A and B are shown apart, each in its own frame.
Chain A
Amino acid sequence: MIRFLIRRTLWAVLVIFLFATVMFFLIQIIIPQDFTVQFALSQSRAQREAMQEELGLNLPLWQQYFNWISNFFNGTFGESFYGYPVIEILKATIPASLLIFLTGTALAFVIGLALGRFIGWRGSGPVTSLTTFGGIALYTTFPPWLAWLVTYFIGRRIRFFRTVFGSRSFDSLDFRIWGDSPLSPSMVSWRMILSLIFVTLVLVALNTLLQRIIRRGLPTWIIIPLIGVGAIGSWYALGFNIQALDILSRAAIPTLTYTALSFGETMLIMRTSMADTLEEEYITVARAKGLPERIVRNKHAVRNAILPVVSRLVITLPYLMTGVVIIEDVFGWPGVGSVLFDSLNQQDMPIAMAIMLFVGIFSLISRLLLDILLAYFDPRLRYQEPATFPSS
């Protein structure tokens, strides 16, 4: 197991380095960093050259690459063409993105698993067809259109939800709450994420303990509201509840849209995986042993059916990140997505490259974690090459 961990981690570091290199040169081919192009018409030659020299764009390509990669390893990511340090921009926007991504992905995963389990167990029929139909329809809806629908039909009807359409920053936050608060929105977002993760871990640990002692855990539909209540309770306990709820009221609609967009795939894979599992002999054995159907489903079928779903999630992660980026841009949520598109509009490549690198690194780290998780659950995988998952 330890050798497996070391091998995967070393490999991940190498891939990040290769990814950064490939991306740098690819971007150089697609968009040469001729920042001055758009001012060329109104500027003299000398002014243009001075500007290029100031930004370090007149250096040979290999030197630019070296500067960039050393900035990457410094952790500063250099400066944007407009003079902001890139790392500051990342620090301000990443928590907002992570808040939506982690909550939305977890919700989508749980909903997809539950629905997939339900229709996979049920087999073919009108209910299954309708659920599949609905899941695929949501999954393939054009994201901005779905965002508009959710805002129009849910966001406007319920008073708690507030949208940040168009503002692209936390400017729309309530000044009465944030005016004299020592906390910045990104700090509050970080604390919200950490408390959510902490509460989830505690509840999962408690549930495992419960299973050990009385051999029966809590059902999922109780655990999820418990996580919500626990998280909000911890915000009250730590004393940033007003700010956190203000952020939540704005994050809810984007998260909802993202969840609706992405649960379909999990559902479909779970359904197929469940149907495959039901054909296995150990299910017949479990039934022949005289076990109740509920136990056969939850203990024998679902546990084995989840593995392909998780391993499929490994390669879907970058696309899920893309979904978040698009949703953020549509709602003007001040995360990395909005900043990415703004910087593309302004041809501010250092920021755009840093964000794409962040998306890559983040999905790579998540992949690593999922791989380790899978290897823990499925010992057969430890001795094989990576990327062994069933096709779907």
Chain B
Amino acid sequence: MTDAMGTTSKPTLIIRFKHWRVRTALAWGQLKRAWDIFRGNRLALIGLLMIGMFGIMAIAHPILLNTVWPRGIYDPVTGFDMEMFPHPTSPSARHLLGTDSLGRDVLSMLLKATTPTFALGLTAAIATAVVGTILGVISAYYGGITDSILSRVSDIFLLFPAPILMVVIGSRFRDIGSVPLGLIYGVVAGAGTTAVVMRSHALKVRVMPFIEASRIAGGGSQHVILKHVLPHMLPMAGLQMMIAVTGAVVADGFISFMGFTRNTNNWGTIMYDAFTYAQQLGSMDEAWHVLIPSAVSLSLFAFAFYLVSRGMYDVADPRIAERRAREQQNGLLLQLRRRLLKVARPEISVPAFPSPLSAKSQLQPGRIIQATLLFAKLHKSSPTDVSSQDEAIIRSPGKPFRDAIPIISQYGGLVSHINISTMVASFGIAPGRLPPQISALLATHAGLELLDYVTELNRERSKQGLPNLNLSVGIATGLVRGHEKGDTADTSFPFTGDVVRTAQRLQQFTVSLNSGGVLISEETYNFMKTVLHQFSFGRQGPVKFPWESEPKMVFEVVERSQQIFEPNWELHRLPKVTSRKTLASQTHWTGIGRS
């Protein structure tokens, strides 16, 4: 028996140890990720800095009072400076913020008031988070009658504005401390607004797949709530805590400002003193150095916590995190370059999409999604001369397809393969998934713009005595599958499917058209049913593909009646471009896009 116990207890010990390590590592990773998102919000960082300053203020007071400041003069309650007369005095070297009408040092009072304000804010924040989270999570998790009862309770508490209730309480218990006051604010605000917000957040968490998984694995309600739901509520609870601090501090200041004076030393009390004195004198001229520091401190304290709450909001909302990550991916240098370009070369408008070559594809191995593929090929003009692709002729001058990448990226496509004479682009996979209706439309527009680009390229080439180039484009829409290990298909693309072959075949057909052009498949045509008026079509007819059972229609797209985006490419890599203006006046597309 003991032997068996010994053998069983040993591995459990090891597992527990690992379990703890894994949990810590996970929590640490989560914290780090949260901090990364938080750090992205500059305003929140400013808020954090300001809170740090207030913390220093709170610590500084007892230190100063015990070292530099003699207690008789600088004590925030009983201090009085005999050498100054009459009080209040304006700021001087001796009293950095002057003295108030009772001869007390304003700076000392200001610093002294920081600690109770922190205590109040902290109590209110914790109470709000605890009450709100408990009510919200229970109501969202159990649903049914529990939910309706708790929701009604929140509905009633929503009608009690917490600040007014605090004033009522303050008017009765005039010497109530910061902590109980914060507690009351926290409970009332927590049972009202916070509970409602937390409930709707918990409703979103409850339907997440891992909750279901945990329940199927045999987790009881208590386990699921504590271990799985609560951790996902933490950022939102943090956000509500910060907002509660703002509200509680303003309400507390207001009670003191109203003259429901409490024994606590408080920024509101200092303001009350300033206003009282100003009323006696008839103007604020003598009391401004009492009013401004306290009022500004109180406002900044609330401000700082609200700013931090904005950062917490980013952490709590995963969509914002994604957006931030995408912005960061673009990189600071790239952004700077774009800014500079915007100023220096306003004619190149910045593409709306991130650069396709750096964007991460959303197509996972083995997953199937609808997408549109575009195959494009540059070749020499004679249709009979297809076989002889003289790369040197295409290449000179410059690398035409590399200069055409902005067109694809502007239309939301991803260039997956490129060399001197061929380009393959996918639409609707990355940088963002798009429905096939849109990816088909965008791809067709991109194909036509590529044609415009080649037309202009030829214009410039003919000036230099070079032979014309032709462009053939094939576009097909359908299902593609991400490459998996073991796939024997052509691995030069990250995906496979009949669509790849269809698009390639369509591009080959296009070569036999007189001077290149754009051919689209039947599916692409069907997906664009609602926007067909944007294009005019040329030849069409059925084609039998070897991998399709029935013949399919193909359509030639000739031109479009409108452009979605302004053209943002230019032939800046070509040598001897005389001037942008003369070039633009010669080309036909400027009339449409740049009017």
Q: Among B246, B299, B442, point to the contact of A288 (Cβ < 8 A).
A: B442
Q: How far is the CB of A95 from chain B (nearest CB, A)?
A: 20
B156 touches A19 (CB 8 A): yes
Size of interface on B: residues with Cβ below 8 Å to A: 66
A136 touches B306 (CB 8 A): yes
B564 touches A145 (CB 8 A): no
A144 touches B271 (CB 8 A): yes
- Fill in one digit per residue for A182-209: 1 if any B CB lies within 8 Å of its CB, else 0: 0000000000000000000000000000
Residues in chain A within 8 A of chain B (CB atoms): 15, 18-19, 22-23, 27, 30-31, 124, 129, 132-133, 136-137, 139-145, 148, 152, 166, 268, 272, 275-276, 279, 281, 284-285, 287-290, 315, 318-319, 321-322, 325-326, 329, 340-341, 344-345, 352, 356, 359-360, 363-364, 385, 387-392
The answer, yes or no, to whether B534 is at the interface (CB within 8 Å) is yes
Question: When chains A and B are docked, how far (Å) is the Cα of A139 from the Cα of B152?
Answer: 29
A145 touches B310 (CB 8 A): no
Chain A residues lying within 8 Å of B435, measured Cβ to Cβ, are: 281
Question: When chains A and B are docked, how far (Å) is the Cα of A359 from the Cα of B158?
Answer: 11
Q: Closest chain A residue to B301 by CB distance? A: A140
Question: When chains A and B are docked, how far (Å) is the Cα of A391 from the Cα of B279?
Answer: 44
What would be 20 A-B contacts, judged by CB atoms less than 8 Å apart? Answer: A22-B156, A30-B169, A136-B310, A142-B250, A142-B254, A142-B295, A142-B302, A145-B291, A281-B434, A315-B158, A321-B161, A326-B254, A329-B258, A341-B167, A344-B167, A344-B171, A356-B164, A359-B159, A385-B151, A391-B197
How many A-B residue pairs have C-beta atoms within 8 angstroms? Tell me: 153
Chain B residues lying within 8 Å of A319, measured Cβ to Cβ, are: 161, 163, 193, 247
- Fill in one digit per residue for B34-50: 1 if any A CB lies within 8 Å of its CB, else 0: 00000000110000000
Question: When chains A and B are docked, how far (Å) is the Cα of A366 from the Cα of B531?
Answer: 44
B323 touches A275 (CB 8 A): yes
The answer, yes or no, to whether B168 is at the interface (CB within 8 Å) is yes
Q: How far is the CB of B201 from chain A (nearest CB, A)?
A: 5
A315 touches B156 (CB 8 A): no
Interface residues of B in 148-198 (CB under 8 A from A): 151-152, 154-156, 158-161, 163-164, 167-169, 171-172, 193, 196-198
Chain A residues lying within 8 Å of B441, measured Cβ to Cβ, are: 288
Chain A residues lying within 8 Å of B319, measured Cβ to Cβ, are: 276, 279
Chain B residues lying within 8 Å of A359, measured Cβ to Cβ, are: 159, 161, 164
The answer, yes or no, to whether B329 is at the interface (CB within 8 Å) is no
Question: When chains A and B are docked, how far (Å) is the Cα of A124 from the Cα of B284?
Answer: 41
Q: Among A133, A387, A392, point to the contact of B155 (Cβ < 8 A).
A: A387
- Fill in one digit per residue for B432-464: 1 if any A CB lies within 8 Å of its CB, else 0: 001101100110000000000000000000000
A289 touches B531 (CB 8 A): yes
The answer, yes or no, to whether B562 is at the interface (CB within 8 Å) is yes
The winner among A133, A142, A387, A390 for most chain B CB atoms within 10 A is A142
B302 touches A140 (CB 8 A): yes
Q: Closest chain B residue to A284 by CB distance? A: B438
In the A-B complex, the 3 residue pairs with the smallest Cβ-Cβ separation, listed nearest first, are: A145-B295, A360-B159, A140-B302
B299 touches A124 (CB 8 A): no
The answer, yes or no, to whether B563 is at the interface (CB within 8 Å) is yes
Question: When chains A and B are docked, how far (Å) is the Cα of A359 from the Cα of B167?
Answer: 15
A140 touches B167 (CB 8 A): no
Question: When chains A and B are docked, how far (Å) is the Cα of A268 from the Cα of B309?
Answer: 12
B164 touches A27 (CB 8 A): no
Residues in chain B within 8 A of chain A (CB atoms): 42-43, 151-152, 154-156, 158-161, 163-164, 167-169, 171-172, 193, 196-201, 236, 246-247, 250, 253-254, 257-258, 271, 275, 279, 284, 291, 295-296, 298-299, 302-303, 306-307, 310, 313, 316-317, 319-320, 323, 327, 412, 434-435, 437-438, 441-442, 531, 534, 562-564
Chain A residues lying within 8 Å of B438, measured Cβ to Cβ, are: 281, 284-285, 288
Chain B residues lying within 8 Å of A136, measured Cβ to Cβ, are: 43, 303, 306-307, 310
Question: When chains A and B are docked, how far (Å) is the Cα of A389 from the Cα of B158?
Answer: 15
Q: How far is the CB of A3 from chain B (nearest CB, A)?
A: 17
B200 touches A389 (CB 8 A): yes
Chain A residues lying within 8 Å of B296, measured Cβ to Cβ, are: 145
Question: When chains A and B are docked, how far (Å) is the Cα of A345 from the Cα of B174?
Answer: 11
Q: How far is the CB of A150 from chain B (nearest CB, A)?
A: 13
Q: Among B167, B172, B254, B284, point to the contact of A144 (Cβ < 8 A).
A: B254
Q: A141-B299, A142-B253 are in contact. Are A290 and B164 (CB under 8 A)?
A: no
A392 touches B253 (CB 8 A): no
A364 touches B159 (CB 8 A): yes
Question: When chains A and B are docked, how far (Å) is the Cα of A321 from the Cα of B158?
Answer: 12
Q: How far is the CB of B8 from chain A (nearest CB, A)?
A: 46
Chain A residues lying within 8 Å of B317, measured Cβ to Cβ, are: 272
B299 touches A318 (CB 8 A): no
B172 touches A30 (CB 8 A): yes
Q: Among A124, A141, A152, point to the contact of B327 (Cβ < 8 A).
A: A124
Q: Closest chain A residue to B184 by CB distance? A: A30
Q: How far is the CB of B293 from chain A (nearest CB, A)?
A: 11
Q: How far is the CB of B21 from chain A (nearest CB, A)?
A: 34
B161 touches A318 (CB 8 A): yes
Q: A140-B303, A341-B258, A391-B236 are in contact. Are A352 and B168 (CB under 8 A)?
A: yes
Q: Among A133, A140, A321, A326, point to the contact of B43 (Cβ < 8 A).
A: A133
A140 touches B250 (CB 8 A): yes
